[in-house]
Amino acid sequence: MTNSLPTAKPVLVVDFGAQYAQLIARRVREAHIYSEIVPHTWTAERILAKNPAAVILSGGPASVFEPGAPRLEPGLLGAGVPVLGICYGFQAMALVLGGDVDQGSKGEYGSTAASVGCPGGLLAGSPEGQTVWMSHGVAVSRPPAGFTVLASTEGAPVAAFEDRARRLYGLQWHPEVHHTPLGQAALENFLYREAGLKPNWTTGSIVAEQVASIRERVGSSRVICGLSGGVDSSVAAALVQRAVGDQLTCVFVDHGLLRQGEREQVERDFVAVTGARLVVHDASDVFLRALDGVVDPEAKRKIIGREFIRAFEAAAREAVGEPDARAGADVGAVNDAVAGADTAANAAAGAGADVGAVNDAVAGADTAANAAARAGADVGARAAGEVKFLVQGTLYPDVVESGGGEGAATIKSHHNVGGLPDDMKFELVEPLRALFKDEVRAVGSELGLPDSMVWRQPFPGPGLGIRIVGAVTRARLETIRRADGIVREELTRAGLDREIWQCPVVLLADVRSVGVQGDGRSYGHPVVLRPVSSEDAMTADFSRLDYDLLSRIAGRITGEVPEVNRVVLDVTSKPPGTIEWE
């Protein structure tokens, strides 16, 4: 069971299997109106039971003439709810209402010129000609009775139509993509002019609705959050902290697949900002043993997902204590922490460290002691609530790429979607599951998180384990960690943190290339730089980095990471490539 954002009358996007149907929902949200995705397998009765303010029928890969192609129930079109059909949804609407769809028509793919002959409600404000993005093999040749043809193209005699009396509208082209410059205007015409909706869905309303939803669902139960330090888990944790306060315990699992400084950043920054209770669980040895010799990327993801849950279960026991061990938890844990504090402080001083280092050690000791006390002594007061829920920072793109939308192909499983074991002991709370990354960043800012967290580059849950092409070893992790650290440092120095969506660094661990290092022959590994620009990770293009910057990065990596003697640049867009290599 997962959280969804509650709203009285959502705009429902019926997914007919298009890989990018979620972009339609994203464009609706850019108009500040809440939207949800529902599968085409839902009956008209079930869709209408959600009391939608409007319905949008997505595109899809099938032809309306294919056996087994998704069908549209006429009842959905006769309920008085405004409906907009796009591409496949447009053709399905025309067919079910008695229009003609020409199976032998000329297909159109990509940028296409559309002639607007009747700029009605849907195309109000449109010029007589506009550029649109097409992707269809059949076309509507005659509209259903009562419809007005608004536009046509060379390959589609009926490229847009509307029946304002019945509040039914359709576009053969894709208004949701940036390649249709006036696409957002058409969507907003539908939402504002024809459906009569108000733009009242904001980051503030997201926070308020989600906080209320979490409180209602969690009740008095305890909650564990898997905190990675990334944008998604940090915002999810902050939302749940806002909702249930001390009922939340954040668990940071160090799986040994982290980038440089990530554990320290979480321990230092996140707690300071949110005041959340944090337990750090070091499971790096467990993960490395489980991944020993595993090369297949899907197997890696499944293993990492499984071990994550096992680590969370262990951390939950550490956080709340076993029922029969609570009596001594406070004294033992606090004494151990204080003893560790004294040891750390004395060691720092004895080693000739400056006063600042000693003070840091003592401060860290105090933090450890307080954390131990909270995890031990306070547990008696909090023991009444069972640890029942696990918070995860799952986003829409994670769900889509894991095949979460019916009819969409599984591209890769995500550890927090497709890699969870069936016997998991927690119920999931996923407060961001309906959001795209830019929405998550906006919510994080609304919650007061600093830019260093909100604008941090996305990092996959499986970590560096899927940025090593080949088996994962401790030595290979250290190699990729150093190379990745150099790249991040240089991008930050160049002021590109907000311009580049992310820049995975991939180690081709099973590949070696001949090189010259230190006046001698080397036989090292290549690393791949994958700088990409994107809005939501659904599509991406490679970032055009300055050559001097690339040269500086390559020189530092080959000079400072002895195992690497070649740096290459990935200039593939998505599609056809994904952002991560595995």
Q: Which residues are catalytic?
A: 87, 174, 176
Burial class of residue 151 in the structure, from the number of CB atoms within 10 Å of its CB (0-12 exposed, 13-18 middle, 19+ buried): buried
Query: What's the half-sphere exposure (Cβ side, CA atoms, 13 Å) at 172?
Result: 37
Report CA dihedral (548, 551, 557, 559) to the nearest 10 degrees.
Answer: -110
Pairing of strands 222-226, 387-391: parallel
Is 150 within 8 Å of 123 (Cβ atoms)? yes
Nearest to 31 by CA among 197, 159, 165, 194: 197
Look up residue 78 and give its amino acid: G
Element (H, E) at 101: strand 100-102
Asked if the peptide bond before residue 526 counts as cis, ω within 30 degrees of 0, the response is no
Sign of CA dihedral 351, 354, 356, 358: positive
- SS percent in the chain: helix, strand, coil, step 5: 40, 20, 40
Is 175 within 8 Å of 186 (Cβ atoms)? yes
Burial class of residue 453 in the structure, from the number of CB atoms within 10 Å of its CB (0-12 exposed, 13-18 middle, 19+ buried): buried
- Outline where 220-322 has alpha helix (H): 231-244, 262-265, 271-274, 284-290, 297-320
Is 56 within 8 Å of 24 (Cβ atoms)? yes
Is 308 within 8 Å of 253 (Cβ atoms)? yes
Element (H, E) at 492: helix 474-493
The Cα 207–Cα 215 span in angstroms is: 12
The Cα 496–Cα 489 span in angstroms is: 10
The Cα 342–Cα 365 span in angstroms is: 8
The Cα 301–Cα 292 span in angstroms is: 13
Number of H helices, E strands in the chain: 19, 23
